[in-house]
């Protein structure tokens, strides 16, 4: 006998998400991830000036607006074959890093960690301490994270002017100029952020945490000083004891576009595709399917450069407004865990190699990436040369095609643009959550999160906290994946 559970809306995620699962013999089967509203930005951009995309697309999401701005300006830059000064690469990377770092900290403390206080875990001896730290609106660590967020926003303001919806990103660079005094101010604000990370999150210096290169190193780190009593130390201990390392595996295939383009042309974080081995990334292998999406226009799959976004709300068999992007026709996971694996980060890849992917590792990878970024931002700030340019005027082309592939907080973000007669002829966006929270595809393969949910043991059907752990470990952002427009 099976029981169907419909969770709508699914709370503590960005945007509108509906999850339907069947529970049979205590296990989840036939999970369905549903984006319940139509995203129409691709339609909205048709016929407009290409530069309008830089204004419009950051409004796709209030959480990762800078990421959409970078992806859009990069697509136009590549279409026009524009050059950028070295300073522009550094400012873009700094803003992106701050946005992602801020998102990671906010997600862990505000969206993910509250599930650790679920009543299911009340018999655990550390439960009172977990509640003391992570209880929403009252937990000490919860409140510290909210306070730290304001400091991160102030740091963002030095470079982006405003956030969200900054307009500094252009095909030829950035519109801000960072003086020496602003560099000094930024380094002071970064030190405040680093102090928070070291005192609250890590319980040690950033460099000491980054010395952990393996699971064995992490276990040793836990025994030193008071590391196990830090927020990350508490999470590592507690989450494994309640079984988060045993749920949420997913497809085991990972994709990263590569992140933080450097002036010399390479990425700070590597691109690639992982399927039991490492392979080079090839964007031509990306295909979007719409068999179970409320969309029409084609059968089979299309590359996003040829993508069609036409709503069909009455389509039989469909259950989501999200498309189903696939890589080489495979369901893949994107996000911090994918980035760390594809970058061959020693700590995260060693744990993955020994224990596999899980809710536990997905959240740890997100926090670990935040720590790496907190150090790297300082390096990029110091590399800015205040006496050199930040922007070069681009040469406009009336007919061109371009691609902007970057890594946002939640994973691989791509913008594809086609320009004809000086206007946007076609525009397509694939967001990270479209990768991770997609419906089944043309081959009836479940989406990434759906696969991670299937097989999950639910101990109490009236309190399916395990489902919440799995879904929130992907940090869904449905405001990116779905939108409603009126024309």
Q: Which two tokens stand for residue 245?
A: 């390392």
Sign of CA dihedral 421, 52, 410, 204: positive
Buried b (16+ CB within 10 A) or exposed e, 284-303: eebbbbbbbbbbeeeeebbe
CA-closest candidate to residue 414, choices 42, 71, 81: 71
Asked whether residue 159 is domain-assigned, the answer is: yes
Tens-place pLDDT, residues 310-356 = 999 999 999 999 999 999 999 999 999 999 999 999 999 999 999 99
Tens-place pLDDT, residues 147-180 = 999 889 999 999 999 888 899 999 999 999 999 9
Tens-place pLDDT, residues 235-287 = 999 999 999 999 999 999 999 999 999 999 999 999 999 999 999 999 999 99
- CA dist., res. 425 & res. 44, Å (int): 11
3-state secondary structure 257-320: CCEEECCCCCEEECCEEECCCEECCCHHHEEEECCCECEECCCCEECHHHCCCEECCCCCCCCE
Asked whether residue 487 is domain-assigned, the answer is: no
User: Average per-residue pLDDT in the chain?
Assistant: 94
Number of neighbours of residue 387 by Cβ within 10 angstroms: 8
- CA dist., res. 2 & res. 20, Å (int): 13
Q: How far is CA 234 from the centre of its chain?
A: 24
Q: Which two tokens stand for residue 188?
A: 């002071």
Q: What's the distance, Cα to Cα, between the start and end of the chain in Å?
A: 47
Asked whether residue 144 is domain-assigned, the answer is: yes
CATH of the domain at 224: 1.10.645.10
- In three-state secondary structure terms, 460 is coil
- Would you place residue 390 in the very low, low, confident or very high pLDDT band (cuts 50, 70, 90)? very high
Q: Which two tokens stand for residue 186?
A: 């930024």
- Contact 390/174 with Cβ under 8 angstroms? yes
Tens-place pLDDT, residues 255-264 = 999 999 999 9
Asked whether residue 486 is domain-assigned, the answer is: no
Specify the pLDDT at position 11: 72
Domain count, the chain: 1
List residues bridging with 296 in a β-sheet: 310
Write out the residue range of the structural domain in which residue 205 sits: 2-388+398-481
Look up the pTM and report it.
0.95
Question: Taking 50 as the threshold, does the pLDDT of residue 483 lie above it?
Answer: no
Question: Taking 50 as the threshold, does the pLDDT of residue 363 lie above it?
Answer: yes
Strand order across the 400-408 sheet = 400-408, 411-420, 423-430
């Amino acid at each position: 006998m099976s029981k169907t559970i419909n969770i709508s809306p699914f709370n503590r995620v960005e945007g509108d998400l509906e999850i339907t699962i069947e529970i049979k013999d205590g296990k989840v089967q036939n999970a369905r991830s549903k984006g319940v509203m139509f995203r129409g930005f691709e339609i909205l951009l048709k016929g407009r000036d290409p530069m309008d995309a830089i204004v419009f697309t950051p409004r796709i999401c209030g959480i990762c607006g800078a990421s959409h701005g970078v992806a859009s300006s990069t697509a136009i830059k590549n279409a026009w074959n524009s050059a950028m000064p070295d300073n522009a690469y550094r400012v873009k990377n700094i803003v992106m890093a701050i946005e992602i770092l801020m998102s990671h900290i906010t997600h862990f403390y505000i969206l993910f960690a509250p599930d650790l206080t679920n009543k299911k875990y009340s018999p655990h001896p550390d439960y009172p301490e977990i509640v003391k730290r992570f209880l929403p609106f009252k937990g000490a660590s919860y409140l510290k994270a909210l306070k730290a967020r304001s400091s991160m926003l102030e740091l963002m303001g030095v470079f982006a002017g405003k956030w969200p919806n900054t307009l500094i990103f252009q095909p030829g660079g950035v519109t801000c100029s960072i003086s020496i005094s602003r560099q000094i101010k930024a380094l002071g604000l970064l030190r405040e952020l680093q102090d928070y990370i070291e005192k609250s999150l890590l319980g040690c210096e950033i460099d000491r945490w980054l010395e952990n290169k393996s699971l064995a190193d992490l276990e040793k780190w836990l025994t030193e000083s008071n590391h196990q009593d830090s927020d990350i130390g508490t999470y590592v201990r507690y989450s494994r004891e309640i079984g988060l390392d045993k749920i949420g595996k997913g497809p085991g295939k990972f994709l990263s576009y590569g992140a933080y383009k450097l002036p010399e042309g390479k990425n700070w974080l590597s691109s690639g595709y992982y399927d039991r081995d490492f392979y080079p990334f090839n964007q031509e292998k990306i295909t979007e399917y719409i068999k179970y999406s409320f969309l029409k226009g084609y059968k089979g799959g299309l590359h996003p450069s040829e993508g069609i976004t036409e709503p069909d709300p009455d389509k039989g068999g469909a259950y989501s407004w999200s498309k189903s992007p696939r890589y080489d026709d495979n369901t893949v996971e994107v996000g911090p865990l994918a980035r760390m694996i594809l970058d061959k980060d020693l700590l995260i890849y060693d744990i993955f190699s020994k224990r596999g992917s899980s809710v536990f590792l997905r959240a740890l990878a997100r926090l670990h990436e935040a720590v790496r970024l907190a150090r790297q931002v300082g390096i990029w700030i110091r590399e800015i040369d205040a006496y050199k340019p930040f922007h070069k005027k681009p040469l406009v082309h009336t007919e061109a095609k371009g691609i902007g592939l970057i890594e946002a907080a939640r994973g691989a973000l791509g913008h594809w643009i086609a320009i004809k007669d000086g206007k946007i002829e076609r525009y397509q966006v694939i967001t990270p959550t479209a990768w991770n929270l997609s419906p089944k595809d043309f081959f009836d393969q479940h989406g990434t999160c759906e696969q991670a949910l299937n097989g999950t043991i639910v101990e109490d059907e009236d309190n399916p906290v395990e489902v919440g752990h799995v879904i929130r470990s992907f940090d869904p952002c449905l405001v990116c994946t779905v939108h409603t427009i009126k024309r």
